[in-house]
Amino acid sequence: MEWTSIFPAHTPTTEQLLALSQWSGANNNIGLDTSLDWKSDLCGNWLRGMQQHYQQLDSLNRRLPDNSIAAFNLQMTQQWMQTFLFDPVRNKAKQAVLNRTDPDLFKQQNIDIETQYAKLTGELCQQCFENDKFSPTRAAKIFTDPLQSQLFYFRLIKLAALEYQYNSLGLTRLTAQKELLTSLLILITGTPTTDPQPYRKYDNNQPLDSFDEYLAKCQLRLEKLYQQQAFDLLYFSEHSPAAKLGCCDYSVVKDSSLHGVQLRYYPSQSKNADKKPIIYLSSPLINRADIFDLSPGKSVIEGLISNGHHVYLVDYSQAGDQDTGQGLDFFGKQIHDRYLNLIQQQYPEQKIHAMGYCMGGTLFVTYLARRAEERQAQGLAMDITKLVLMATPILFDDAGSGHGPMRELIRTRYDKEMISQIFDGSNIPPQLIEAGMHQIQPGVRYTVSHGFYERASFDGAIEDAAPFLNWLNHGTRFPARAHQEWIENIFTDNQIWRDKYCLSSSIPALDGKPVDMHALTRAGVQLMDYRGLRDPISPAGSCIASENWGVDHGGNSETTDGLNRTIEKNIGHIFVVSRKLLSEYLEHALHFYNSKG
């Protein structure tokens, strides 16, 4: 019997059901290759303009005679702007940060719309599912039972209304949700849409499967998503038992908690662990440290401890409002001094090797150079001589580094005064960091959602993605001062590369002076860069520490003992979500750690 033979003759087509929302932004009819948050951009530009106007008034006021009428009028205007514009915006932003919602009201409304859209999609499935499985009989009843028909069309109208309320255009998460809805309507009606159809594979514009085979795949995908309550990625990442982060047991080191930072200890059960080097992990300030320990098979820490290494992980993710004034020197120098001292007190005879990911590596490689300077000044041999850098940028320019697009975005969109006005006292929320990242990753919210829905038909794919979605959707707050210094000193001024980046020191001659990165070479430190050709966040051209500093930094074979290594792969920034790619990385990292030198 043909798949579609069960449907009544008066069943509407999928195209007819989609007609109500054919002009909504969720369809991306204008063919954008990214998302366009036009309302947010418009309001952001207006707010920046008002901030610049306020500064102009302030500058003019300083040049006017005291107690003049003109000065009084300017002061009144500034007071009005503070009271009725900046103070309400600041209070709203602070409340959003405390509630862990997006301070951009338009984007938060988008999130609410996506949640409602997912809920309605689930309710449509409920109408045609029985015992968590699609039922053609129940689907056909939608168009023969007046009550079921009324419910169905009511939900379709609500879905269309949500699409028209959405505040963004182009490739958005709602676009991915609309594709999923379209596949559901195709399954319910048994009628195709105009090619290309969601999730269907084509070759030279011809489908690679029959329509019945395509319907079977749609059914399987929707059943699995329905069973896991995974239509809403955010809800799923917060409530699914499979979304639990971490697979390795740890404890927080005593006396390590300071200004929202703590040191985690992951013990190895290997009998030889006390003879092998300890691995010290430096995580990024802008992400949760759990990127090093997502889930079984996707855990850097699991791979290290299973190979007999005790592991210590710097966790920056607890920063609160009271830590807003801490700068990069605290997070990138004082914390490492304190933590490495704690470790060496516990294991005075054991070697320590280090590993840094992204920004965590950037801050640690500069720290290690300063540490090398300090030990040289004291006549001591270098105590940490091996550092693995995962997707770690150190060159920030408009040319070969690959950071040109982000630097241009900073020049045109970053307003230090406005950021200070809004977020001083509450830290930079993860949503703001995410917005910047999205500018250099066109349509990333769409691609992540589309990929998740598309792969849902594979056994275990939904559960497998859950920890990463949890990590991705729940970032950390970036202390305001450290954020400003990262943007201005490292990203804009390229101070590390230009030998202008300063750190504190217990040695007066070095305190507050620029770090000499070539101290790594003099100290015999070996560096291993592991970088990706498809990484827009840390482009391969910026991850070149091993080519410039350390032991024989001229570019070496990845298997040469005692020398730096530079390993380049066709991978993206967060390659640890792939068991295969992570396994390859760990093989290289462990070989580097175990090599002579």
- Residues with Cβ within 8 Å of 356's Cβ and at least 6 positions away in sequence, in order, are 281, 282, 362, 363, 364, 365, 387, 388, 389, 390, 392
Predicted pLDDT of residue 4: 47
Question: Helices 173-189 & 211-228, crossing angle to 10 degrees?
Answer: 120
CA distance 282 to 284: 7
CA 273 to chain centre: 33
- Residues with Cβ within 8 Å of 359's Cβ and at least 6 positions away in sequence, in order, are 284, 285, 286, 486
Predicted pLDDT of residue 442: 85
Between the alpha carbon of residue 532 and those of residues 16, 392, 429, 510, 570, the distances in Å are 45, 10, 27, 35, 6
Predicted pLDDT of residue 421: 77
Strand-pairing partners, residue 386, are: 526
Domains of the chain (ranges, CATH numbers): 10-195+205-231+429-476 (no CATH), 251-402+485-594 (3.40.50.1820)
Predicted pLDDT of residue 463: 96
Token pair recorded at residue 124? 């449509």
CA distance 490 to 496: 7
Nearest partner of 366 among 520, 165, 584, judged by Cα: 520
pLDDT tens, position by position, for the chain (597 residues)?
A: 344 445 455 689 999 999 989 899 999 999 999 999 999 999 989 998 998 899 899 899 888 888 888 888 989 999 999 999 988 988 888 888 888 889 999 999 999 999 999 999 999 999 999 999 999 999 999 999 999 999 999 999 999 999 999 999 999 999 999 999 999 999 999 999 988 999 999 999 899 999 999 999 999 999 999 999 999 999 999 999 999 999 999 999 999 999 889 999 999 999 888 889 999 999 998 889 999 999 999 999 999 999 999 999 999 987 777 788 899 999 999 999 999 999 999 999 999 999 999 999 999 999 999 999 999 999 999 999 999 999 999 999 999 999 999 999 889 888 888 888 788 777 888 888 888 887 888 889 999 999 999 999 999 999 999 999 999 998 888 888 999 999 999 999 999 999 999 999 999 999 999 999 999 999 999 999 999 999 999 999 999 999 999 997 555 555 566 689 999 999 999 999 999 999 999 999 999 999 876
3-state helix, strand, coil in the chain (%, to 5): 55, 10, 35
Q: How many CB atoms lie within 10 A of CB 217?
A: 17
| Residue 102 burial (10 A CB sphere; 0-12, 13-18, 19+) | buried
Predicted TM-score of the model (pTM): 0.91
What's the CA dihedral at 221, 226, 231, 235 to 10 degrees? -140
Between the alpha carbon of residue 15 and those of residues 20, 191, 195, 270, the distances in Å are 10, 8, 11, 61
Strand-pairing partners, residue 567, are: 530
CA distance 254 to 72: 57
Token pair recorded at residue 90? 């600041």
CA distance 433 to 591: 35
Q: How many CB atoms lie within 10 A of CB 201?
A: 11
| Residue 226 burial (10 A CB sphere; 0-12, 13-18, 19+) | buried
CA distance 157 to 17: 10
- Residue ranges of alpha helices (H) inside 229-358 are 233-239, 300-306, 328-329, 335-346
CA distance 211 to 588: 45
Predicted pLDDT of residue 352: 97
- Residues with Cβ within 8 Å of 514's Cβ and at least 6 positions away in sequence, in order, are 495, 499, 500, 501, 502
Predicted pLDDT of residue 559: 54
What is the SS3 assignment for 15-43?
HHHHHHHCCCHHHCCCCCCCEECHHHHHH
The 8-class DSSP code of residue 13 comes to P
First-to-last C-alpha distance (Å) of the chain: 71
